[in-house]
């Protein structure tokens, strides 16, 4: 398993599974292409004929209305046919294996699979299995990666900050369980952001964080000091049950982003969140809805970025 | 390469402007097609009417060769800072060859609205190579070029435009 | 049946013998080593020139998948695979379905294995009923039925009180308890080493402390109970250091490692290779290097394959959902030789970890070549290169992280009690032959 499974023999993007290992030029190409689609989304007819006749299957083994919807809108604006499949874990365990499902859909002339799964590596496994003309987009696998989210975050940062090479970015929260954080870290370091910080209690950080090229902080104020971009991660309620945190109240007190804490960052710092937000747990409403928040633009840009990814993939032959 | 047979781009643009000028109306807008058409339109704009609204169009998402070559070229955002609906559009490109780019440009424009009229101005009209029923309303020069050669519009560092014949 | 193995390089790690000569076998036992006695008229002559003649290999962990998992592998398929790998004796863990916790099951397994006339099977009995970690099995009865040790396989005993009583009871009958040390709570849900790869790939992690805490518990209980304990499949440098110290203090402990942990690290997971989903997880390069050193020093008593045939359906899943384990009984020898070459060890020394070393753990008089002893013999070509691929493996389990590797060392003949149970004549063709 030596070669990068995301690239075809010509070194072009065949699947988008993770940002790790992708060259900087490719990330820039995706972001630039997305700029073109932002313009499309402002047209009278918000649709281009690029993927006319292509069948894109949204395979969601883990429910997520939001992400599925943005992929669906993106595919439809590219004129592709979109088929949504929500495959619950229970029907999986009743005989048909994951790959049986994939084989069956491939037999229906699928051109692209957009995959969301609760297990790290699921998209890689499907990409390894499918015929060479089928493209796989990872829409989130376990704790591993959520590359389109990472890319739309980079798009947002570039929109508001212009460049990457002079930025200080802080990621706050449950890095351990977060595929979003991993994709952001790889994207930020690949794009040349000199200082990426993660801020969390030790129970929400993986064991070997330093090797990923980030600085670890346990104190929110210290970690936010003079940063340009603050990314807040979602804290899932089940984390309170696994002896990782005592309560959401204590978490909010020490790690929740309030206006007072945000003041440690640069005055023009932007605040991002991949959604959906837990107001009063990881972020205060005043900040979420405040002037520095770019959380809603993130969602808008997400459609353009996903259009860019899908059209670049569809144009590359296996 | 053979630059001798190609005229100076600026001269062509000036000649084009002279012929286009009588047909300008208050409702006319100028739209250059990326990339050469945008450069040409930028030069034409002050010669025609400096107050005329103008924009740029990228046709990457409307090309009919996507299946063959994918989305590799640099996509430039389309910028049309006016209502397309009901407008008299002057579409500008550097070279009219098969007509496929113009077909894509017209499709793109219609996704912004229904123009009242679209006319086409090009620096070079490669006669005899058309694959679609499309013709230029204004052509700087009509030229027969062997199929083994391409004509490129190049922008030099000082902003000067230059036409180049390139062997494939 | 009289067999003469002519002019092979005879190696016996136990005695340190390494000489070219003949090995004569009669009535299932070794009759002569070195010179063929006058008047010896063999029924069969094996030309072993250029080949190594060594004791049949002993593998401490081979899952035969019977009873209960015959769809994955059968006793016959896996014992054939063992013979093809030069393995003449093996022990199998009790995690069958049902587990080996009743004498009837053990007797049936022994009986069926014996009838196949292939490698010898030494079952490890279940330490607790149904491996549930609550009630002790009838260990003495199971021993009489043929169990050579008792273990929980990969199911830890979480109740330390039960573990202590189990060790005491086993010590009463002078039986060895095999423990695969892993703290059930710290390992819960984990599928990879708690290191850089798990952090990057977002895989739930098992910290090395899960192993060291369990090893420490086991060593303290050994001290208290006097039980003999064999620690299986160690994976971390820290745990190995603890065993090193315990041995220096004279505690009755032994340990083994798997061929996977000898050669691979967390890095080999690459892009979620399911064949690298193992229990315990592949750890850091530092841990792997410590294992390679400790095996050479003899701190680790034996190298085993931890052979676990898994079918495709349970490997073609997202990494964390795949069934852990690697098939590898046929790779025990080549992977031992690979380690020997990389560590510049003599064959005498290297082969000890798969012959006399594991024999001592099992308490068997085997794993050596001696006059009058059962003729369990492996004859292999130390210079034959071959490629690990599905078709080259007899086991029904094709789940090997070493797929695609070019390895050196091919078994030509395997004898169990003087009977030829495997032979392969054709020369291996490999581009490496000319180079080496």
pLDDT tens-digit readout, A161-213: 999 999 999 999 999 999 999 999 999 999 999 999 999 999 999 988 888 89
Q: Is residue C398 situated within a structural domain? A: no
**Enclosing H/E stretch for C26:** strand C17-26
Asked if residues A170 and A231 have their Cβ atoms less than 8 Å apart, the reply is yes
Tell me, what DSSP letter sits at residue C85? T
Mean pLDDT of C75-90: 97
pLDDT at site A1 = 46
Asked if residues C416 and C118 have their Cβ atoms less than 8 Å apart, the reply is yes
Cβ-based neighbour number of residue B86 at 10 Å = 11
Give the domain range for residue C378. Answer: 3-54+371-383+407-435
Mean pLDDT of C297-315: 94
Identify whether residues C277 and C421 lie together within a single domain.
no
Instruction: Name C214's Cβ contacts closer than 8 Å, sequence gap at least 6.
Output: C156, C179, C181, C182, C183
> What SS3 state is found at C140?
helix
Q: Is residue C391 situated within a structural domain? A: no
CB contact under 8 A, B69 and A32: no
Identify whether residues C244 and C270 lie together within a single domain.
yes
Q: Is A314 on the interface with B (CB under 8 A)?
A: yes
pLDDT at site C394 = 95
Q: Is residue C319 situated within a structural domain? A: yes
Q: Is residue C313 situated within a structural domain? A: yes
Identify whether residues C151 and C205 lie together within a single domain.
yes
CB contact under 8 A, B78 and A40: yes
Q: Is C320 on the interface with A (CB under 8 A)?
A: yes
Q: Which residue of A has its CA nearest to B110?
A: A45
Torsion angle, alpha carbons of A117, A122, A123, A126, to 10: -120
What is the tens place of the pLDDT at every residue in A64-113? Answer: 888 999 999 999 999 999 999 888 755 555 557 788 888 888 888 899 99
Q: Which residue of B has its CA nearest to A77?
A: B61
Asked if residues C425 and C413 have their Cβ atoms less than 8 Å apart, the reply is no
Considering only CB atoms, A142 lies closest to which of C196, C199, C320, namely C320
Q: What is the tally of structural domains in chain C?
A: 2
Q: Which residue of B has its CA nearest to A29?
A: B74
Single out the catalytic residue among C59, C287, C306, C381. C306
Closest Cα of chain C to A263: distance in Å?
A: 31
Q: Is residue C389 situated within a structural domain? A: no
Whether the pLDDT of residue C364 is over 90: the answer is yes
CB contact under 8 A, C319 and A182: no
Asked if residues C43 and C3 have their Cβ atoms less than 8 Å apart, the reply is yes
CA dist B14 to B11, B18, B41, B142, B164, Å? 5, 6, 12, 16, 18
Closest Cα of chain A to C411: distance in Å?
A: 28
Q: Is A316 on the interface with B (CB under 8 A)?
A: yes
Identify whether residues C230 and C294 lie together within a single domain.
yes
Asked if residues A262 and A271 have their Cβ atoms less than 8 Å apart, the reply is yes
Mean pLDDT of A265-285: 96
pLDDT at site C436 = 34
Biggest CA pair distance of chain C: 69
pLDDT at site C430 = 45
Q: Is residue C390 situated within a structural domain? A: no
Among this protein's residues, is C306 annotated catalytic? yes
Q: Is residue C13 situated within a structural domain? A: yes
Whether the pLDDT of residue C41 is over 90: the answer is yes
Answer positive or negative: Cα dihedral of C41, C45, C51, C53.
negative
Angle between helices A24-40 and A295-315 (to 10 degrees): 110
pLDDT at site A143 = 95
Q: For residue C436, how far is the Cα from the chain centroid?
A: 28
> Domain ends where: C362, C394, C420?
C362
Mean pLDDT of C69-93: 93
Considering only CB atoms, C272 lies closest to which of A125, A179, A209, namely A125
Identify whether residues C44 and C64 lie together within a single domain.
no
Instruction: Cis check for the bond before C67: say yes or no (omega within 30 of 0).
Output: yes
Q: Is A125 on the interface with C (CB under 8 A)?
A: yes
Identify whether residues C23 and C128 lie together within a single domain.
no
pLDDT at site C267 = 97
Identify whether residues C153 and C61 lie together within a single domain.
yes
Asked if residues A164 and A172 have their Cβ atoms less than 8 Å apart, the reply is no
> Domain ends where: C328, C362, C396?
C362
Q: Is C403 on the interface with A (CB under 8 A)?
A: no
Judging contacts by C-beta atoms under 8 Å, the chain C residues touching residue A144 are: 201-203
> Domain ends where: C305, C327, C362?
C362
- Reported ipTM: the value is 0.91
Chains B and A touch (3+ CB pairs under 8 A): yes
Identify whether residues C242 and C378 lie together within a single domain.
no
Radius of gyration of chain A (CA): 19
Mean pLDDT of B4-26: 90
Q: Which long-range contacts (CB under 8 A, 24 or more apart) does C38-46 make?
A: C40/C2, C40/C4, C41/C2, C42/C2, C42/C3, C42/C4, C43/C1, C43/C2, C43/C3, C44/C1, C44/C2, C44/C3, C44/C4, C44/C420, C45/C3, C45/C4, C45/C6, C46/C3, C46/C4, C46/C5, C46/C6, C46/C8, C46/C379, C46/C413
CB contact under 8 A, B84 and A44: yes
Answer positive or negative: Cα dihedral of A167, A168, A174, A179.
positive
Query: Judged by CB atoms within 8 Å, which residues 144-203 of A form the interface with B?
Result: none
The Cα A147–Cα A183 span in angstroms is: 5
Q: Is residue C392 situated within a structural domain? A: no
Tell me, what DSSP letter sits at residue A120? T
The Cα C137–Cα C118 span in angstroms is: 29
User: What CATH number is attached to the domain comprising C10?
Assistant: 2.30.40.10
Identify whether residues C106 and C148 lie together within a single domain.
yes
Cα angle, residue A77 at apex, residues A113 and A6 outer, rounded to 5°: 35
Identify whether residues C177 and C212 lie together within a single domain.
yes
Label the pairing between strands C120-126 and C149-151.
parallel
Biggest CA pair distance of chain B: 43
Q: Phi and psi for C404 in degrees, rounded to 5?
A: 90, -15
CB contact under 8 A, A47 and B78: no
Mean pLDDT of A22-28: 96
Identify whether residues C109 and C48 lie together within a single domain.
no
Judging contacts by C-beta atoms under 8 Å, the chain A residues touching residue B73 are: none
Q: In sequence order, which ranges of B53-99 are alpha helices (DSSP H)?
A: 66-69
Radius of gyration of chain B (CA): 15
The Cα A165–Cα C210 span in angstroms is: 41
Q: Which residue of A has its CA nearest to C284?
A: A208
User: What CATH number is attached to the domain comprising C230?
Assistant: 3.20.20.140
Whether the pLDDT of residue B98 is over 90: the answer is yes
Identify whether residues C342 and C420 lie together within a single domain.
no
CA dist B125 to B89, B95, B107, B137, Å? 19, 6, 21, 10
To probe the interface with C, which of A89, A208, A209 has the most C CB atoms within 10 Å? A208
The Cα C86–Cα A85 span in angstroms is: 51
């Amino acid at each position: 398993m030596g070669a990068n499974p995301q690239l075809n023999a010509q070194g072009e993007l065949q699947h988008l599974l993770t940002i790790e290992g992708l060259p900087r030029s490719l990330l820039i190409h995706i972001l630039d292409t997305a700029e073109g689609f932002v313009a499309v989304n402002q047209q009278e007819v918000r649709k281009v004929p690029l993927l006319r006749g292509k069948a894109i299957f949204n395979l969601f083994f883990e429910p997520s209305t939001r992400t599925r919807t943005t992929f669906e809108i993106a595919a439809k604006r590219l004129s592709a046919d979109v088929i949504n499949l929500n495959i619950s874990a229970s029907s999986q365990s009743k005989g048909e294996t994951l790959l049986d499902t994939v084989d069956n859909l491939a037999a229906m002339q699928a051109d692209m699979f957009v995959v969301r799964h609760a297990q790290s590596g699921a998209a890689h496994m499907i990409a390894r299995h499918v015929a060479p003309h089928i493209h796989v987009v990872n829409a989130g696998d376990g704790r591993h990666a959520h590359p389109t989210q990472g890319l739309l975050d980079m798009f947002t940062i570039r929109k508001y900050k212009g460049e990457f090479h002079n930025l200080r970015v802080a990621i706050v929260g449950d890095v351990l369980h977060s595929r979003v954080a991993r994709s952001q870290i790889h994207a930020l370091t690949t794009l040349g952001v000199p200082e990426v910080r993660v801020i969390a209690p030790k129970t929400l950080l993986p064991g070997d964080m330093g090797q990923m090229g980030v600085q670890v902080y346990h104190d929110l104020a210290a970690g936010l000091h003079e940063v340009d971009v603050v990314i807040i991660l979602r804290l899932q309620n089940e984390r309170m049950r696994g002896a990782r945190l005592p309560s959401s109240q204590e978490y909010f007190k020490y790690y929740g982003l309030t206006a007072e804490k945000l003041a440690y960052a640069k005055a023009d710092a932007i605040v991002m969140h991949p959604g959906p937000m837990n107001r009063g747990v990881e972020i205060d409403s005043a900040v979420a809805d405040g002037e520095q928040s770019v959380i809603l633009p993130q969602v808008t840009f997400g459609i353009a970025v996903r259009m860019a990814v899908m059209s670049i993939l569809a144009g590359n032959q296996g | 390469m053979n630059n001798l047979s190609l005229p100076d781009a600026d001269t062509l643009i000036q000649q084009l402007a002279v012929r286009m000028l009588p047909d300008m109306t208050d409702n006319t807008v100028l739209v250059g097609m990326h990339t050469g058409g945008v450069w040409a339109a930028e030069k034409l704009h002050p010669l025609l009417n400096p107050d005329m609204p103008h924009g740029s169009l990228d046709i990457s998402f409307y090309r009919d060769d996507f299946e063959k070559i994918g989305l590799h070229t640099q996509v430039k955002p389309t910028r049309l800072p006016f209502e397309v609906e009901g407008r008299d559009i002057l579409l500008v490109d550097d070279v009219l060859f098969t007509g496929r780019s113009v077909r894509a440009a017209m499709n793109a424009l219609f996704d912004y609205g229904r123009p009242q009229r679209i006319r086409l101005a090009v620096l070079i009209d490669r006669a005899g190579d058309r694959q679609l029923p499309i013709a230029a309303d204004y052509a700087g020069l009509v030229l027969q070029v062997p199929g083994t050669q391409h004509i490129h519009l190049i922008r030099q560092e000082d902003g000067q435009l230059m036409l180049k014949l390139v062997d494939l | 049946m009289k067999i003469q193995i002519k002019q092979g390089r005879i190696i016996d790690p136990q005695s340190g013998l390494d000489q070219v000569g003949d090995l004569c076998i009669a009535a299932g036992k070794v009759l002569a080593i070195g010179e063929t006695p006058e008047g010896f008229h063999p029924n069969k002559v094996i030309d072993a020139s250029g080949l190594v003649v060594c004791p049949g290999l002993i593998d401490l962990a081979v899952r035969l998948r019977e009873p209960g998992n015959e769809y994955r592998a059968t006793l016959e398929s896996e014992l054939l695979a063992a013979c093809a790998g030069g393995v003449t004796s093996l022990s199998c863990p009790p995690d069958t379905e049902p587990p080996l916790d009743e004498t009837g099951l053990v007797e049936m397994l022994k009986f069926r294995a014996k009838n196949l006339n292939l490698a010898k099977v030494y079952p490890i009995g279940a330490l607790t009923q149904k491996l549930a970690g609550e009630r002790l099995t009838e260990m003495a009865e199971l021993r009489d039925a043929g169990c050579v040790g008792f273990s929980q396989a990969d199911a830890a005993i979480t109740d330390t009180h039960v573990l202590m009583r189990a060790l005491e009871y086993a010590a009463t009958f002078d039986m060895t308890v095999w423990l695969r040390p892993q703290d059930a709570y710290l390992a819960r849900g984990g599928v990879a080493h708690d290191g850089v790869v798990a952090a990057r790939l977002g895989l739930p992690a098992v910290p090395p402390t899960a192993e060291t805490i369990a090893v420490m518990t086991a060593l303290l209980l050994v001290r208290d109970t006097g039980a003999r304990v064999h620690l299986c499949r160690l994976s971390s440098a820290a745990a190995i250091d603890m065993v090193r110290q315990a041995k220096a203090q004279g505690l009755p402990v032994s340990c083994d490692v798997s061929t996977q942990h000898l050669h691979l690290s967390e890095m080999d997971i690459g892009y979620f290779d399911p064949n690298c989903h193992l229990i315990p997880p592949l750890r850091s390069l530092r841990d792997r290097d410590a294992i390679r050193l400790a095996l050479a020093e003899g701190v680790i008593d034996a190298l085993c394959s931890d052979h676990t045939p898994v079918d495709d359906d349970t490997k073609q899943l997202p990494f964390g959902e795949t069934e852990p384990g690697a098939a590898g009984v046929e790779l025990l020898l080549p992977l031992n030789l690979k380690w020997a070459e990389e560590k510049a060890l003599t064959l005498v020394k290297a082969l000890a970890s798969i012959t006399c070393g594991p024999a001592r753990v099992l308490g068997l008089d085997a794993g050596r070549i001696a006059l009058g002893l059962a003729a369990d013999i492996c004859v292999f070509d130390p210079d034959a290169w071959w490629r690990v691929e599905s078709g080259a493996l007899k086991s029904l389990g094709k789940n090997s992280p070493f797929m695609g590797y070019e390895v050196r060392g091919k078994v030509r003949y395997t004898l169990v009690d003087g009977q030829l149970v495997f032979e392969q004549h054709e020369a291996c063709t490999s581009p490496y032959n000319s180079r080496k």
